């Protein structure tokens, strides 16, 4: 029977992969498709060579989208991973499984990813974020790359030719089935005047364009993508008290203010408590699809979660960890990389990745040198950053 015949018995199709040792029944096409849709990406990449029909099926936009939809809800296979990079080998990425839960790392799998571009190792590589298995990274001063670490495919975005970005955000426009990158910088015309140009790249059009911005300059990045919007910390003047969180909707391209929790702690200076001066910072993150705020109080950190997006009253403190409880003496504050829905926190502390779940913590990974890592979570997928393939999904 011809290699490309879709009705070729399943036993014959996988014979080379199994060595003929596992007898399998003949199954209808529909059942085979349902089985393949529930396999991890690593297996699917191998199964593309079984036949032309399987290659066509697994590479089809409809299969890729359906596989992503199923895998994000599947608790059987390890689809969720953490990816991070660290100096001095900034062109090397590491990734390991977050399955089934963040606090169960006994079967951690660490993989080494060589960055697919030939770059100067002295150039820093920043992780902007991830959506649907695509990871956005910035190389050097402004080379933006979309990369699928599960398949190894990547796309270097065209330079806008107008703006060299300082801060970046990455998100998915579900209504238009489009992946977008936002870049912005702060331009000083004189000591009393500045502007904040903002550009958005669309994968669907493969182009950059300027968008409206409400004013103020973004003083911290990357932006955090939650609920269809990229969230930025924005300052309106030289007074460090006058900063807000702006939610930039990437579909409507409108912006709105989002209120942070207002915790009260008698031991803290009010200004420091609000994260607007001194040694305290308020950083933004995401957990389980919810926006998070990390309040660094110099002696401890509070992590808050907005459980109902846009509702100020839904902010809830999910964990507080004191710095003195960590016996690893390094000249760094912990950096939160990931927060689980059950209150576990994965933090970078010097050369260590540490899981903290009150009241205990344990070492996950030792990097071998004191570094500050950049990280993002991603779901394994077959989504391609290649524009030609992406355009065919319409």
Domain shared by 234 and 314, yes or no: yes
- Asked whether residue 291 is domain-assigned, the answer is yes
- Asked whether residue 286 is domain-assigned, the answer is yes
- Say how far apart CA 73 and CA 79 lie, in whole Å: 9
Structure-token pair, residue 225: 């993508």
Domain shared by 51 and 189, yes or no: no
pLDDT at 207: 93
pLDDT at 238: 63
Please provide the DSSP assignment of 99-143 as one string. Answer: -S-TT--TT--EEEEE-SS---TTS-EEEEEEETTEEEEEETTTE
Domain stop point among 9, 41, 59: 59
- Asked whether residue 13 is domain-assigned, the answer is no
Is residue 86 a contact partner of residue 367, using CB atoms and an 8 Å limit?
yes
- Asked whether residue 393 is domain-assigned, the answer is no
Q: Reduced to 3 states, what is the DSSP secondary structure of residue 42?
A: helix
Domain stop point among 7, 37, 59: 59
pLDDT at 43: 93
Domain shared by 174 and 323, yes or no: yes
Domain shared by 285 and 362, yes or no: yes
Domain shared by 42 and 135, yes or no: no
- Say how far apart CA 111 and CA 113 lie, in whole Å: 6
pLDDT at 391: 45
Domain shared by 55 and 83, yes or no: no
Give me the number of domains the chain comprises.
2
What DSSP character marks residue 260?
P
Backbone torsions φ then ψ of 16, nearest 5 degrees = -70, -30
* CATH number of the domain encompassing residue 85: 2.120.10.80
pLDDT at 77: 46
Domain stop point among 8, 40, 59: 59
Domain shared by 215 and 323, yes or no: yes
The tens-digit pLDDT sequence of the chain (394 residues) is 444 444 444 544 455 554 554 555 678 889 999 999 999 898 999 999 988 999 999 999 999 999 998 887 765 445 678 887 766 456 677 777 775 555 444 455 555 555 555 555 567 778 899 999 999 998 877 789 999 989 988 899 998 876 666 889 999 999 999 999 999 887 766 666 677 889 999 999 999 999 998 888 887 779 999 999 999 988 876 655 667 899 999 999 999 999 888 765 545 443 333 334 333 467 888 877 889 888 877 778 888 889 999 998 999 888 887 775 555 554 456 778 777 766 677 887 767 777 777 777 777 777 666 566 778 888 889 999 986 555 444 4
pLDDT at 236: 75
- Say how far apart CA 348 and CA 351 lie, in whole Å: 7
- Asked whether residue 173 is domain-assigned, the answer is yes
Domain shared by 218 and 240, yes or no: yes
Q: For the whole model, what pTM was predicted?
A: 0.82
Q: Reduced to 3 states, what is the DSSP secondary structure of residue 363?
A: strand
CB contact set of 19 (below 8 Å; sequence gap of 6+): none
Residue the block writes with tokens 């096409």: 29
- Asked whether residue 176 is domain-assigned, the answer is yes
Domain shared by 293 and 153, yes or no: yes
109-165, pLDDT tens digit by residue?
555 555 555 555 567 778 899 999 999 998 877 789 999 989 988 899 998 876 666
Domain shared by 267 and 295, yes or no: yes
- Asked whether residue 21 is domain-assigned, the answer is no
pLDDT at 269: 44
Domain shared by 43 and 145, yes or no: no
- Asked whether residue 389 is domain-assigned, the answer is no
pLDDT at 189: 64
Q: Which domain holds residue 238?
A: 69-379
Outline where DSSP puts E strands in 140-280: 143-147, 154-156, 167-173, 178-184, 187-190, 193-195, 198-202, 207-211, 217-226, 229-235, 243-249, 255-258
Domain shared by 129 and 54, yes or no: no
């Amino acid at each position: 029977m011809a290699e490309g015949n879709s009705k070729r018995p399943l036993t014959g199709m996988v014979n080379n992969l199994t060595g003929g040792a596992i007898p399998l029944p003949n199954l209808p096409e529909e059942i085979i498709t349902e089985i393949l849709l529930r396999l991890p990406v690593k297996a699917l990449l191998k199964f593309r060579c079984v036949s032309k029909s399987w290659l066509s099926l697994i590479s089809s936009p409809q299969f890729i989208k359906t596989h992503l939809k199923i895998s994000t809800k599947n608790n059987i296979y390890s689809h969720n991973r953490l990816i991070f990079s660290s100096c001095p080998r900034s062109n090397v990425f590491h990734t390991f499984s977050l399955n089934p839960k963040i606090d169960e790392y006994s079967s951690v799998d660490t993989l080494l990813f060589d960055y697919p571009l030939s770059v100067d190792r002295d150039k820093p590589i920043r992780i902007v974020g991830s959506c649907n298995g695509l990871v956005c990274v910035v190389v050097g001063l402004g080379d933006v790359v979309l990369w699928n670490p599960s398949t190894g495919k990547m796309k270097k975005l065209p330079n806008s030719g107008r703006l060299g970005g300082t801060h970046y955000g990455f998100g998915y426009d579900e209504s238009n089935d489009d992946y977008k990158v936002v870049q912005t910088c702060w331009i000083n015309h004189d000591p009393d005047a500045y502007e904040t140009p903002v550009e958005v790249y669309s994968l669907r059009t493969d182009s950059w364009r300027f968008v409206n911005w409400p004013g103020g300059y973004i003083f911290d990045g990357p932006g955090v993508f939650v609920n269809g919007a990229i969230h930025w910390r924005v300052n309106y003047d030289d007074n460090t008290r006058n900063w807000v969180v702006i939610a930039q909707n990437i579909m409507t391209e409108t912006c709105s203010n989002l209120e942070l929790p207002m915790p009260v702690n008698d031991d803290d200076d009010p200004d420091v408590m609000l994260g607007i001066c001194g040694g305290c910072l308020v950083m933004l993150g995401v957990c389980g699809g919810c926006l998070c705020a990390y309040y660094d109080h110099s002696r401890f950190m509070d992590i808050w979660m907005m459980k109902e997006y846009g509702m100020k009253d839904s902010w809830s403190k999910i964990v507080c960890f004191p710095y003195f409880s960590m016996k690893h003496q390094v000249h760094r504050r912990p950096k939160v990389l990931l927060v689980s829905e059950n209150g576990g926190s994965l933090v970078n502390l010097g050369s260590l990745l540490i899981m903290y779940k009150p009241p205990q913590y344990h070492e996950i990974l030792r990097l071998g040198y004191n570094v500050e890592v950049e990280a993002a979570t991603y779901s394994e997928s077959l989504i391609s950053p290649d524009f030609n393939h992406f355009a065919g999904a319409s």
